[in-house]
Amino acid sequence: ETGVTQSPTHLIKTRGQQVTLRCSSQSGHNTVSWYQQALGQGPQFIFQYYREEENGRGNFPPRFSGLQFPNYSSELNVNALELDDSALYLCASSTSGASTDTQYFGPGTRLTVL
Amino acid sequence: AQSVTQPDIHITVSEGASLELRCNYSYGATPYLFWYVQSPGQGLQLLLKYFSGDTLVQGIKGFEAEFKRSQSSFNLRKPSVHWSDAAEYFCAYNNNDMRFGAGTRLTVKP
């Protein structure tokens, strides 16, 4: 059984650019959640996708957008990058969108915005 | 506002000593509570979770946590800490959006 994978591992961008991060969910999981973890802080919920539909969103601006594909993999897109977007981006997959579900996390993508 | 508070930013314990990491939540209904551990350069791993029933929950790696509604707390404990337990620990609750505390960094002295 393959766990949650994310690509790339590290990324460096400049202000104003756009970035796409990718996540492959664990086998059998149809839900993917994305989190932003700034240095020294806990993860902050960005949004969740369940069966290709957005199923909840945290307090992030519209320039953070996502997609989920028929195979339940997912992308996080961030437009007009700002310095404060520098963080570890984590995705997690689960068997459904229920609050009781265990979320299985990938290793993250470290984004640096210069 | 709904929140999770971990009052201790950093804790140091000696190997073999007992450990308690504190977590308080602010939410009206019974939340779904979780403890995760994060080692450097890695994602989060679930230690244990509480939804209902027995308020003392057993997890992996010898950890346990106790839900106390009257204190709005969900503290994590381990009777004897190992050097490999050094990591960042996060308490979280989930009510359609998972909210994490700021984390407690655990250092283990030889």
Q: What is the mean pLDDT of residues A26-44?
A: 93
Residue A101 has what pLDDT? 86
Q: Using the CB atoms, write b or e for A49-87: b if 16+ within 10 Å.
A: bbeeeebbebeeeeebbbebeeebbbbbebeebeeebbb
Enumerate the residues of chain A whose CB falls inside 8 A of the CB of residue B92.
42
Using CA atoms of A41, A47, A49, A54 in order, give the dihedral in degrees to the nearest 10: 180
B90 in contact with chain A, both atoms CB, cutoff 8 A: yes
Confidence at residue B29, expressed as pLDDT on a 0 to 100 scale: 72
- Mark yes or no for CB contact B46/A108 under 8 Å: no
Run of H or E including B94: strand B87-94
Instruction: Tell me the C-alpha distance between B91 and B47, whole Å.
Output: 10
Decide if B81 contacts B16 (C-beta within 8 A). Answer: yes
> DSSP 3-state assignment of B12?
strand
DSSP 8-class letter at B84: G
- Judged against a pLDDT cut of 90, whether residue B58 lies above it is answered with yes
CA distance A63 to B1: 25
- Taking 90 as the threshold, does the pLDDT of residue B98 lie above it? no
Q: How many CB atoms lie within 10 A of CB B32?
A: 20
Residues of A in contact with B99 (CB under 8 A): 45
Residues A53-69 have pLDDT tens digits of 999 999 999 999 999 99
CB contact under 8 A, B46 and A41: no
